[in-house]
């Protein structure tokens, strides 16, 4: 029978939520957006053992918290003409055009023409833009996933696009399924390709180990520059 209990302690001014479970190993997690700290610990471990484990990881914990707090965010989108939006790393100006009929976006040179009915709310306009992003990203990802599955000799059972607050992508290794952030539609294509390769590699190497980096080097020699480029891109959610 599984049992669990919760408590909290303070370590170096940080509140640590402790959840005791029927597990073998202790796990420390730092979670967005505020950097909340949670420790999942075996039932037999006392709080002093947990405190010592947290102290040993303080540098890593504070680094993770700082990363979450400093992660760039986009300003609130008002969805009005003249507003800047990005598609695959290129900047476009939004041009709102009122008309009856289907809501849609048409890309023309350096503009995204947004056709909507008059008095359409900003939220509904944003929904039209997000569907446009989803359609474009879905096409881009299909090409890249098919390419790299073949190159790497791995195969996903499936993948999908969804909004994610802090991650560009993730891989559920047991299910062989990948998730990609909708925000990738805004970043340069080479950055999207890096994320695809990164997530597919988890089918070969679960952790971000030295071997994982070696495999990255073999697949994509310039992955570090792509990663640095991606860090400059803003996550909108």
pLDDT in tens, 24-68: 889 998 886 678 899 999 999 999 999 999 999 999 999 888 877
Token reading at 183: 């925000």
Please check whether residue 176 is in contact with residue 157, taking contact to mean a CB–CB distance below 8 angstroms.
Answer: yes
Alpha-carbon torsion angle 92, 90, 32, 216, nearest 10: 170
Residue 80: CB atoms within 10 Å: 12
pLDDT of residue 111: 96
Q: What sign results for the dihedral spanned by CA atoms 77, 81, 82, 85?
A: positive
pLDDT of residue 232: 79
pLDDT of residue 72: 57
pLDDT of residue 81: 94
pLDDT of residue 51: 93
5 SS3 class: strand
Partners of 90 in beta bridges = 87
pLDDT of residue 1: 45
Q: Is the peptide bond before 56 cis (omega within 30 degrees of 0)?
A: no
Of all residues in the chain, the percent with pLDDT exceeding 90 is: 72
pLDDT of residue 16: 93
Tell the burial category of 20 from Cβ atoms under 10 Å away from its Cβ (0-12, 13-18, 19+): buried
Mean pLDDT, each 10-residue run in order, the chain (237 residues) = 74 91 88 82 92 93 81 70 93 95 94 95 96 98 97 96 91 95 95 97 92 94 91 69
Domains contained in the chain, CATH given: 5-70 (no CATH), 84-231 (3.30.2010.10)
pLDDT of residue 9: 93
Q: What is the DSSP letter of 235?
A: B
């Amino acid at each position: 029978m599984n049992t669990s209990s919760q408590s909290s302690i303070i370590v170096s001014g940080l509140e640590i939520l402790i959840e005791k479970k029927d597990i073998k190993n202790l796990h420390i997690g730092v979670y967005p957006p505020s950097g909340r700290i949670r420790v999942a610990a075996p039932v037999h471990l006392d709080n002093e053992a947990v405190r010592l484990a947290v102290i040993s990881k303080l540098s890593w914990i504070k680094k993770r918290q700082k990363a979450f707090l400093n992660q760039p965010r986009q300003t609130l989108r008002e969805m009005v003409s003249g507003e800047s939006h990005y598609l695959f790393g290129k900047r476009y100006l939004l041009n709102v055009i009122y008309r009856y009929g289907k809501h849609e976006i048409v890309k023309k040179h350096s503009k995204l023409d947004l056709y909507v009915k008059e008095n359409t709310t900003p939220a509904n306009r944003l929904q039209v833009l997000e569907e446009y992003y989803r359609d474009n990203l879905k096409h881009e990802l299909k090409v890249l996933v098919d390419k790299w599955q073949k190159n790497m000799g791995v195969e996903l059972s499936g993948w999908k696009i969804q909004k994610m607050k802090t991650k560009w992508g993730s891989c559920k290794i047991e299910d062989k399924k990948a998730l990609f952030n909708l925000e990738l539609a805004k970043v340069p294509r080479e950055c999207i390709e890096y994320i695809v390769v990164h997530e597919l590699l988890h089918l070969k190497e679960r952790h971000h180990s030295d071997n994982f980096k070696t495999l990255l080097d073999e697949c994509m020699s310039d992955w570090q520059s792509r990663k640095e480029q991606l860090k400059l891109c803003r996550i909108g959610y």
